[in-house]
Amino acid sequence: MKRRFPYATRLRQLPPYLFAEIDRLKQEAITRGTDIIDLGVGDPDLPTPPHIVTRMAEAAADARHHRYPSYEGLMEFRQAVAEWYRDRFGVVLDPATEVLTLIGSKEGIAHMPLAFIEPGDAVLIPDPGYPVYQAATAFAGGTPYALPLYPSNGFLPDLESIPLDVLRKAKMLFLNYPNNPTAACAPEAFLAQAVAFARRHRLILCHDAAYSEIAFDGFRPSSVLSVEGAKEVAIEYHSLSKTYNMTGWRIGFAVGNADILAGLGRIKTNVDSGVFQAIQLAGIEALKGPQDCVAAHCKVYQERRDVLVEGLTRLGWNVPRPRATFYVWIPVPPGHNSTELAKRLLSEAGIVMTPGVGFGPHGEGFIRAALTVPVDQIREAVERISKISL
């Protein structure tokens, strides 16, 4: 049937958004009466810490916060971000020019190419990777160039293998560590290499660090801005979504190069009106308040990680133990592909996992499990998988 109102070309060029498609299949299974264990979308099941909720309730009741917020965010929130970066990474930021408040980091990622990419410009994108990098590039008329992430290289891109003709057209490089979906972590030496590469080729380096605080076994991920000279070419995204279980609140930030942030800010002034001020005040409470909640969340995810990895290992699966994120990137057993396996897990075991190919062609051969259900459900998932003939 021909659509009465056909979509614009930019929409027709995009595949269905991965998580929306997973949700559709999941809802169909629920309608059939399937008891679902959802290890699909990375939406924390743990609640936002009470002290943050309390601050939000207080601020929401204050009529001063019921009007339009500023585009770039309250100075108090940006100061809190700068202090958090100083304490966490030793990075000094000017809150007036080097911090920009976002309606979640996804919004800032999606708007970045609109500020700097002309039709025909190349954008270097990890594959597998967060789908928004590619979608944002397409919306801006840019040309995505995939950087394959292979397990043999620790899921780090080989920047030096990018052809010179691509680099001549490239203006932007997206990186994401700790990584979604692979859960890989970047050594400081690689971040330094990436900064040097961006400086040499005059690239805008956009580092998505949304999972920097979800780490295990004493590991502490680094910030790209800790690299000397990074602020000449780089910005870094962070979000309160994963760190403080605030996915529905929609608050994040970008920090780093002032000129790059100014360009992103010009897009924002034309398409949104900023983050509700009460949420920003709750964000200040999150960043400046007690941080033991973050450690407690990591402890929960670490237990879930161990139960899933050890359980699948007992079943003969070869599953690496991630050091960060709340994802497990699981190699598909021989004789299967990621889509087929994900469908079988859903239809035969009622388990939702994400096929790796949904994150890009180089994600084939893996499925992703999100550690966002209670540990007893993860044990149940392992038990159900043990009954499937694979």
The model's pLDDT over 6-42, given as tens digits with 9 standing for 90+, comes to 888 888 877 776 667 777 878 888 888 889 999 998 9
- The verdict on residue 278 lying in a domain is yes
Q: Are residues 281 and 363 in the same domain?
A: no
Neighbouring C-alpha atoms within 13 Å toward the C-beta of 336? 19
| Residue 255, number of CB atoms within 10 A of its CB | 27
Residues 6+ apart with CB under 8 A from 50: none
How far, in whole angstroms, is CA 76 from its chain's centroid? Answer: 25
- The verdict on residue 72 lying in a domain is yes
- The 3-class SS string of 230-254 reads HHHCEEEEEEHHHHCCCHHHCCEEE
CA distance 301 to 306: 9
Q: Are residues 40 and 153 in the same domain?
A: no
Q: Are residues 190 and 236 in the same domain?
A: yes
CA distance 354 to 342: 6
- The verdict on residue 67 lying in a domain is yes
Q: Are residues 42 and 157 in the same domain?
A: no
Q: Are residues 309 and 203 in the same domain?
A: no
Per-residue pLDDT, 2 = 66
- The verdict on residue 237 lying in a domain is yes
Per-residue pLDDT, 3 = 67
Per-residue pLDDT, 307 = 98
CA distance 341 to 91: 43
CATH number at residue 54: 3.40.640.10
How open is the CA angle 329-335-340, to the nearest 5 degrees?
65
Which among 377, 374, 375, 343 is positioned nearest to 357, based on CA atoms? 343
Q: Are residues 32 and 62 in the same domain?
A: no
Per-residue pLDDT, 331 = 97
- DSSP H or E stretch at residue 292: helix 292-314
- The verdict on residue 4 lying in a domain is no
- The verdict on residue 305 lying in a domain is yes
Which among 223, 170, 221 is positioned nearest to 195, based on CA atoms? 223
- The verdict on residue 1 lying in a domain is no
Q: Are residues 252 and 332 in the same domain?
A: no
Neighbouring C-alpha atoms within 13 Å toward the C-beta of 85? 27
Residues of the chain short of pLDDT 70, as ranges, are: 1-3, 17-19
Q: Are residues 15 and 99 in the same domain?
A: no
CA distance 312 to 323: 17
Per-residue pLDDT, 151 = 97
Residue where a domain stops, chosen among 269, 288, 307:
288
Q: Is 175 helix (H, G, I), strand (E, B) or coil?
A: strand
| Residue 161, number of CB atoms within 10 A of its CB | 8
Place of tokens 């920003």: 280
Residue where a domain stops, chosen among 219, 254, 288:
288
**Is the bond preceding residue 131 a cis peptide, omega within 30 degrees?**
no
Instruction: Read off the tokens for 5.
Output: 């109102």
Q: Are residues 191 and 54 in the same domain?
A: yes
Q: Are residues 182 and 112 in the same domain?
A: yes
> Given 3-state DSSP classes, what are the helix, strand and coil percentages for the chain, each rounded to the nearest 5?
50, 15, 40
CATH number at residue 337: 3.90.1150.10
> 233, 199 in Cβ contact below 8 A?
yes
Q: Are residues 109 and 164 in the same domain?
A: yes
Parent domain of 352: 9-47+293-386
Which among 239, 255, 250, 178 is positioned nearest to 214, based on CA atoms? 178
> 75, 95 in Cβ contact below 8 A?
yes
Type of residue numbered 253: F
Residue where a domain stops, chosen among 247, 271, 288:
288
- The verdict on residue 3 lying in a domain is no
* 234-239/252-256 β-pairing: antiparallel
DSSP 8-state class, residue 80: H
| Residue 328, number of CB atoms within 10 A of its CB | 26
CA distance 140 to 13: 12
Q: Are residues 322 and 338 in the same domain?
A: yes
Q: How many domains does the chain have?
A: 2
